[in-house]
Structure 1
């Protein structure tokens, strides 16, 4: 893909452009303050203002984005020694995570109060989700395979289609490039946990490859009172291929497979998530490039005791044209996708969607303007047009103001519609509108970002047991929130901070929607040394209701994770982490406890 990086001011060491994407009231982004231990300005700039792709589908600096964005870099992922994506996502601005216990257990990610099924999850641009439950299997994606995470808050349906109501999370896998290296990692720790990962990459002339294989196995911790420990195992493989042609064209291939067995209270579940992709980038002219991507994703599970099957296969073809005109940029494209579902509990029809979309990015010096428009033709719900507008204004060299408005829609899941004795085929699709206002400050070694938003979710699908049986309802929900984030680096210290205040209620009853905490926060402090690093991460959330209309709440909590690493020999590094160091008892889903205190040790070897 031809890359055009847009900058507001190329004469300064840091870019101060600002952005927005969802309009009315949003002050968003004190996200993770990625900080580099080195204090030179170029290193700091790349750490505090990394490139982001998800907000516009073309690379720009975080500070130039008109959306509220958080980027979690490979260095931060490695420093935190996270085993699951939930450890990286929890407490990030506008993000709330609910999990049914320990490693591998069902994980729901809520963005700006919208449903977990309203969080679009992409792997290298390929959508991955279950058409039956609607959510993505975040718990089955090994963090060892993730090179970078991008979190974009607010509706992104104009770029990524239905389900991008609350926001988009995109995981980028390591690319095949013109470098040769080999990495080996082995680890062990509490709950009889063991892990091993091997990665090798290389190139020959104009072709490149990267191969990674890994295994994770744990007996797990007690997730439900009165029950035994619940284990989890995972085996994964990643193959990334690339080839460059003399014409400037590039073809890429991707295979990612993660599968294993998960143990629940009184049950076992075999699962598999898989992503296949074939991409072609064509430089048509100096100002026009075309990207073509064909992909297939699978989300499969089978309950051992009952034989119940819930399998989703999604096939997508996407065409994008990126046209540069001076400081302005235009994206024109089309997309076609099909969800095919195999479910033992009920009959589910295939669902097809065809779409065309357009995006304009205008740079008028101090002022930036982004316009998005998309039209979808869904086989189940007919035609839908969504759009968005965002405006950014550079107040001075350090501060930028942004505002945005966006619309999105989401069709009910197959479980919502057809699940035996509880599904409702008359449910309506969710329609949302979001307004946001934000402001950001960028300095040589420090940034801060604040946003406020106001969102309306019409006909949101909520499951409740009003009648004594769990059934889905359409409700109109209203969400308002404040998101703050900051990042700083000085000498050998790195700090990251985030805070979210959220109020989301059912407009007809005034009830707070379940599983969403009103306040969440995250704080990371790291200290680097010549051959090592130590750090602590605090993740906090206040009370949340367990079900709609219930007076029962899950208590607030603070989880403390401590980590350290030391390079004891050339190419050799030891890592140790203590998760839930203070051994706090906490729940993010009713009746399911998070893991108790645990300690893990990992050895890493890098060659070449």
Structure 2
């Protein structure tokens, strides 16, 4: 099991083994290991920030089409879609906007430099082995955008066994077809060189993305989607102290979409790409000092075509260089420090922008003194286009016994202006400064082998210097630092078991307020919840999900609340062959995630798969 965790997080075996031993010494909870909440391995139950983990079993159980659908099951998370699969989407963690939550793939940024957000709807789950979601203000660990939280996606990796093949074929509603295949294992007998390759293709005819009653000028045709994705990883263990490798993920999507302000005969397509490529190395300089290197490239491409002619191009590239060092002072005290360099470029036919260069230094401490846990992080980011920004995180937890603990934290974060904010024609403002936020939270947690990890968190985030677009009196709206907002609430989460039934639940009550205009923040519900339960009975794996949301405001309208039920069942025909059936939106609810945009009605899907026994 430890070897599998090592492959996921990209850290040496000794580091993760030590974290697992520390978990056994301080808690009766056999929790999985996570890395995003501190940038170093630790048991999930020890994380001070609210952290959700989705492993391969969770991904298989979810029945989600893409990473966005999976993340929607995390507590505190809401999503929006402007239509069906592959359409423009939004991610809101604790009320923060998409551009205020950071997305990483194997530690590499992949957001659009133009918009400041990542295209999660383009990332298919066939290439993903694990996802971690950290709620709350953690810019002190990762820099800009990590105000609402961080989503870190880890691609699949190989283990030290002979090569094994697997495949799936799916067919379902809207003429949806999906095929995926993968192979992973070791290239040598001693298992020092491991690899994984996963490919997938998905095509759906879809449905009309816009409601004709609210957008009569839009084309009423169905809006289909085609996605082709590949991921590959190669890792070599040179010795017990050093390993290195490469990772690659690319997802290409072609999405047909509607334009509410176009003609009913217009055919619009968005040609999108998300790519993450990296080279990494991990080594132990001494028994207590481990160093990590990552050289990575993230790409986000969005090219729009109307009636066969390309009308716009937005191609972003992030080049990232990270050097991190972990020092174990004692078994209970660890230091972390490092340096990161980021180059961001934009190639667009709509406007030009100078390249952005960011130099960052960061440091952190994680420790335990008796029943007390401590976490402190500090980071400085120096930007070439607006100057520097500091962020910090202070967290404390007290363990009442082996199961109960209380925690509190305070943090300061920032979001750098996007290239659109700075340079877009007639609206950009090169003199604007980063958005700022300060967050405070307190939590009570119970963790045990019997039920898993359950947690209740009180949180509040205040935003200042928010970038709003203000009229200049001549018909144009210019980016200005004039906005203020506050989101406060209570969040409950549970990932664990009821007997032999695996359960994941989250519920949030929040008050997202635009303090500048004295209005609710758009598309943020005041209350929402998710519940997922799955159980293995003989050769069967059965379960379902319930996703509910209260009403939300959106463009001077109110989106009604909704409740969606999804059911799934898997049957193992043999040790290798299996068949899965899934029904989404069981009760055929008509609901909206964004004003005027349709959502899928009841759909049924069946999958035939094979994996090594």
The worse-fitting range, judged by mean Cα deviation, of 422-431 and 515-524 is 422-431
Task: Report the counterpart of residue 291 of structure 2 in structure 1.
Answer: 290
For residues 363 and 444 of structure 1, what CA distance do their matches in structure 2 show? 22
Alpha carbons of structure 1 residues 469 and 233: separation in structure 2 relative to 1, 3 Å: farther
The yes-or-no answer on 1:129 pairing with 2:137 is: no
Task: Report the counterpart of residue 164 of structure 2 in structure 1.
Answer: 181
Alpha carbons of structure 1 residues 426 and 57: separation in structure 2 relative to 1, 3 Å: same
For these two proteins, the number of residue pairs brought into alignment is: 573
Contact conserved, 2:138 with 2:149, CA < 8 A, in 1? yes
Contact conserved, 2:232 with 2:249, CA < 8 A, in 1? yes
SS in 1 for 2:422: helix
For residues 12 and 356 of structure 1, what CA distance do their matches in structure 2 show? 31
Task: Report the counterpart of residue 225 of structure 1 in structure 2.
Answer: 211
For residues 276 and 157 of structure 1, what CA distance do their matches in structure 2 show? 23
Q: 1:330 aligns with which of 335, 339, 356?
A: 335
Task: Report the counterpart of residue 421 of structure 1 in structure 2.
Answer: 426
The yes-or-no answer on 1:85 pairing with 2:89 is: no
Q: Using the TM superposition, give the Cα deviation of residue 471 of structure 1 relative to its aligned residue in structure 2, in angstroms.
A: 5.9
1:422-452, Cα deviation, whole Å (9 max, x unpaired) = 3333433101110110010112221320001
Contact conserved, 1:95 with 1:110, CA < 8 A, in 2? yes
Q: Using the TM superposition, give the Cα deviation of residue 293 of structure 1 relative to its aligned residue in structure 2, in angstroms.
A: 0.4
The yes-or-no answer on 1:374 pairing with 2:382 is: no
Q: 2:200 aligns with which of 190, 202, 214?
A: 214
Alpha carbons of structure 1 residues 463 and 14: separation in structure 2 relative to 1, 3 Å: farther
Alpha carbons of structure 1 residues 465 and 367: separation in structure 2 relative to 1, 3 Å: same
Superposition pairs for residues 215-294 of structure 1, below 5 Å? 215-226=201-212, 227-246=220-239, 248-265=241-258, 266-294=267-295
Contact conserved, 1:69 with 1:151, CA < 8 A, in 2? yes
For residues 471 and 268 of structure 1, what CA distance do their matches in structure 2 show? 29
Alpha carbons of structure 1 residues 492 and 388: separation in structure 2 relative to 1, 3 Å: closer
Contact conserved, 1:91 with 1:540, CA < 8 A, in 2? no
For residues 209 and 476 of structure 2, what CA distance do their matches in structure 1 show? 24
Task: Report the counterpart of residue 574 of structure 2 in structure 1.
Answer: 569
SS in 2 for 1:373: strand
Superposition pairs for residues 188-199 of structure 1, below 5 Å? 188-199=171-182
For residues 508 and 296 of structure 1, what CA distance do their matches in structure 2 show? 38
Root-mean-square deviation over aligned CA pairs: 1.8
Task: Report the counterpart of residue 25 of structure 1 in structure 2.
Answer: none
For residues 89 and 248 of structure 1, what CA distance do their matches in structure 2 show? 35
Alpha carbons of structure 1 residues 476 and 490: separation in structure 2 relative to 1, 3 Å: closer
Superposition pairs for residues 89-100 of structure 1, below 5 Å? 89-100=71-82
Q: Using the TM superposition, give the Cα deviation of residue 9 of structure 1 relative to its aligned residue in structure 2, in angstroms.
A: 6.1
Q: Using the TM superposition, give the Cα deviation of residue 514 of structure 1 relative to its aligned residue in structure 2, in angstroms.
A: 0.7
For residues 485 and 466 of structure 1, what CA distance do their matches in structure 2 show? 45
Q: 1:101 aligns with which of 57, 66, 83?
A: 83
Task: Report the counterpart of residue 263 of structure 2 in structure 1.
Answer: none
Contact conserved, 2:456 with 2:491, CA < 8 A, in 1? yes
Q: Using the TM superposition, give the Cα deviation of residue 197 of structure 1 relative to its aligned residue in structure 2, in angstroms.
A: 0.6
Q: Using the TM superposition, give the Cα deviation of residue 488 of structure 1 relative to its aligned residue in structure 2, in angstroms.
A: 3.9
Q: 1:145 aligns with which of 127, 141, 150?
A: 127
SS in 1 for 2:221: coil
The yes-or-no answer on 1:511 pairing with 2:519 is: yes
Alpha carbons of structure 1 residues 101 and 502: separation in structure 2 relative to 1, 3 Å: same
Contact conserved, 2:426 with 2:476, CA < 8 A, in 1? no
TM-score by length of 1: 0.91
SS in 1 for 2:19: coil
Q: Using the TM superposition, give the Cα deviation of residue 497 of structure 1 relative to its aligned residue in structure 2, in angstroms.
A: 1.5
Superposition pairs for residues 315-464 of structure 1, below 5 Å? 315-326=319-330, 327-446=332-451, 447-462=453-468
For residues 99 and 472 of structure 1, what CA distance do their matches in structure 2 show? 25
Contact conserved, 2:147 with 2:414, CA < 8 A, in 1? yes
Contact conserved, 2:139 with 2:414, CA < 8 A, in 1? yes
Alpha carbons of structure 1 residues 484 and 594: separation in structure 2 relative to 1, 3 Å: same
Superposition pairs for residues 6-17 of structure 1, below 5 Å? 10=24, 14-15=28-29
Q: Using the TM superposition, give the Cα deviation of residue 454 of structure 1 relative to its aligned residue in structure 2, in angstroms.
A: 1.1
Q: Using the TM superposition, give the Cα deviation of residue 570 of structure 1 relative to its aligned residue in structure 2, in angstroms.
A: 2.4
Q: Using the TM superposition, give the Cα deviation of residue 182 of structure 1 relative to its aligned residue in structure 2, in angstroms.
A: 1.1
Alpha carbons of structure 1 residues 465 and 102: separation in structure 2 relative to 1, 3 Å: farther
Contact conserved, 2:76 with 2:491, CA < 8 A, in 1? yes
Contact conserved, 1:91 with 1:499, CA < 8 A, in 2? no
The worse-fitting range, judged by mean Cα deviation, of 109-118 and 189-198 is 109-118
Alpha carbons of structure 1 residues 105 and 507: separation in structure 2 relative to 1, 3 Å: same
TM-score by length of 2: 0.90
Alpha carbons of structure 1 residues 294 and 190: separation in structure 2 relative to 1, 3 Å: same
Give 5+ residue unaligned stretches, structure 2.
Answer: 1-10, 213-219, 259-266
Contact conserved, 1:197 with 1:212, CA < 8 A, in 2? yes
The yes-or-no answer on 1:546 pairing with 2:554 is: yes
Task: Report the counterpart of residue 42 of structure 2 in structure 1.
Answer: 60
Q: Using the TM superposition, give the Cα deviation of residue 607 of structure 1 relative to its aligned residue in structure 2, in angstroms.
A: 2.5
Task: Report the counterpart of residue 40 of structure 1 in structure 2.
Answer: none
Q: Using the TM superposition, give the Cα deviation of residue 347 of structure 1 relative to its aligned residue in structure 2, in angstroms.
A: 1.2
Q: Using the TM superposition, give the Cα deviation of residue 91 of structure 1 relative to its aligned residue in structure 2, in angstroms.
A: 4.8
Q: Using the TM superposition, give the Cα deviation of residue 248 of structure 1 relative to its aligned residue in structure 2, in angstroms.
A: 2.1
